Amino acid sequence: MAVSRSAVVLCLAALAGLLAWPAFASDFGVDLTTKILIYAILALSLELLVGQTGLVCFGQAAFFGIAAYATVRFSPEYDAAAIWWLLPSAVAASAVFALVMGALSLRTRGVYFIMVTLAFSQMAYYVIHDTPVGGGTDGIYLNVPPSVAVGSTQLLDLSDPLHFYYAALLALVTCFVMLAVALRSRFGRALAGIRVNEQRMRAAGFPTYPYQLAAFVISGAIAGIAGFLFATKDGFVNPELLSWHLSGAALVMIILGGLGHLRGAVIGAFALSLLEELFQSREFVGGFADHWHLGLGASIIACAALLPRGLIGLPRLLRARLVGARHAGAP
């Protein structure tokens, strides 16, 4: 997977902007951006399956929610758990669920695969919703955020919004870089071949199932990181975190940003979240904020119709039209 120099420059510029953002943003701006960074990690996890492997999964919210609930359930009620064991435990919980879901759902194909992943997700939702495991519809609280300390030295205070912002940014950058490296390896090339033509890969004697299952588990683990961060940020989790609506939103993010590109997943997370904030703001849209779903839906439809490659393809589209206009105006 070739990466242009301009793409690298743009990624570094975006990172520099995010690093400097808290110096200029309000408390609300920092909080909103932190939430978007978490959703961007969730979108990256789904991009690995849909954009890179060709598996349309509707179980992403289950991975996200299971890790969020594990974070709360594994934490002492009135003491801070060490992040060094709490984060791996929460991620392991979502990865194990992804392993079970993938092992069974990958036996199916096409619309049946989508149906099975959705069924698994809804099963997890109702287990949390209807049993004491998840506290029922009321959800459960995380009273004390995890501690990030080595010995008696505290490295980060996750109850501080600024510290948490940079922790979320570090998690996003780490996931992005690790996925970018993995996709340029033999593993990534195998996933690309499976996405393009799974039958040909099998005919060539390539074992597609283990690679798909590995991608499924990695995707679940990355979604688990997002779930851990979400539970730590809000200090509260409820069954809606496992709802299929969140899986659908993650799918919209990666399509809106540009399917097949890691950068597209991050761009889509920012675009969808900011559009939601825009149409819910009475300062911008007045009374139409009561019907914000209509504005959001119309915007998504317009982007899908006008930008078939997603927002990441907008510069190329503008260049093509500019060149076309120049040629049309030439004598």
Please write the tens of the pLDDT for every residue from 71-89. Answer: 999 998 888 899 999 999 9
Provide, rounded to the nearest whole percent, the portion of the chain with pLDDT above 90.
Answer: 58
Q: Six-digit token pair at 90?
A: 């929460």
Q: Which residues lie closer than 8 Å to 163 by C-beta, 6 or more apart?
A: 156, 157
Is pLDDT above 70 for 325? no
DSSP β-bridge partners for residue 236: 141
Q: Are 71 and 142 a contacting pair, CB within 8 Å?
A: yes
User: Minimal CA–CA distance to 124: which of 143, 103, 98?
Assistant: 98
Q: Six-digit token pair at 212?
A: 């798909």
Please report whether residue 181 resides in a domain.
yes
Q: What does the alpha-carbon distance between residue 328 and residue 117 come to, in Å, rounded to a whole number?
A: 50
Distance in angstroms between the alpha carbons of the first and the last residue of the chain: 40
Q: Are 212 and 55 a contacting pair, CB within 8 Å?
A: yes
Is pLDDT above 80 for 1? no
User: Minimal CA–CA distance to 144: which of 134, 159, 161?
Assistant: 159
User: Minimal CA–CA distance to 232: which of 170, 163, 158?
Assistant: 158
Could you tell me the pLDDT band of residue 3, with boundaries at 50, 70 and 90? low
Please report whether residue 315 resides in a domain.
no
Please report whether residue 233 resides in a domain.
yes
Please report whether residue 110 resides in a domain.
yes
Is pLDDT above 70 for 304? yes
The domain tally of the chain equals 1
**What pLDDT score does 5 carry?**
74
Please report whether residue 252 resides in a domain.
no
DSSP β-bridge partners for residue 153: 150
Angle, CA of 147, 150 and 152, to the nearest 5°: 85
Q: Is the Cα dihedral 219, 177, 193, 259 positive or negative?
A: positive
Q: What does the alpha-carbon distance between residue 105 and residue 99 come to, in Å, rounded to a whole number?
A: 10
Pairing of strands 153-156, 148-150: antiparallel
User: Minimal CA–CA distance to 83: which of 21, 163, 176?
Assistant: 163
Please report whether residue 85 resides in a domain.
yes
Please report whether residue 320 resides in a domain.
no
| Phi-psi region at 56: left, alpha or beta (left = phi > 0; alpha = psi -120 to 50) | beta
Could you tell me the pLDDT band of residue 4, with boundaries at 50, 70 and 90? low
Task: Please state the pTM of the whole predicted model.
Answer: 0.93
**What pLDDT score does 323 carry?**
64
**What pLDDT score does 206 carry?**
81
Per residue in 148-203, pLDDT (tens digit) is 988 778 888 898 999 999 999 999 999 999 999 999 999 999 999 999 888 888 88
Q: Which CB contacts under 8 angstroms, 24+ apart, belong to 128-135? A: 128/65, 128/69, 128/239, 128/242, 129/239, 133/69, 133/73, 134/69, 134/237, 134/238, 134/239, 135/238
Q: What is the DSSP letter of 107?
A: T
Could you tell me the pLDDT band of residue 287, with boundaries at 50, 70 and 90? confident
Q: Which structural domain range is residue 84 located in?
A: 28-242
Q: What does the alpha-carbon distance between residue 258 and residue 274 come to, in Å, rounded to a whole number?
A: 17
Q: Are 174 and 221 a contacting pair, CB within 8 Å?
A: no
Please report whether residue 313 resides in a domain.
no
Q: Six-digit token pair at 56?
A: 């349309």
**Helix residue ranges, H only, the chain:** 5-20, 27-53, 60-74, 83-105, 111-130, 161-183, 186-203, 208-234, 244-257, 262-280, 282-285, 292-306, 314-329
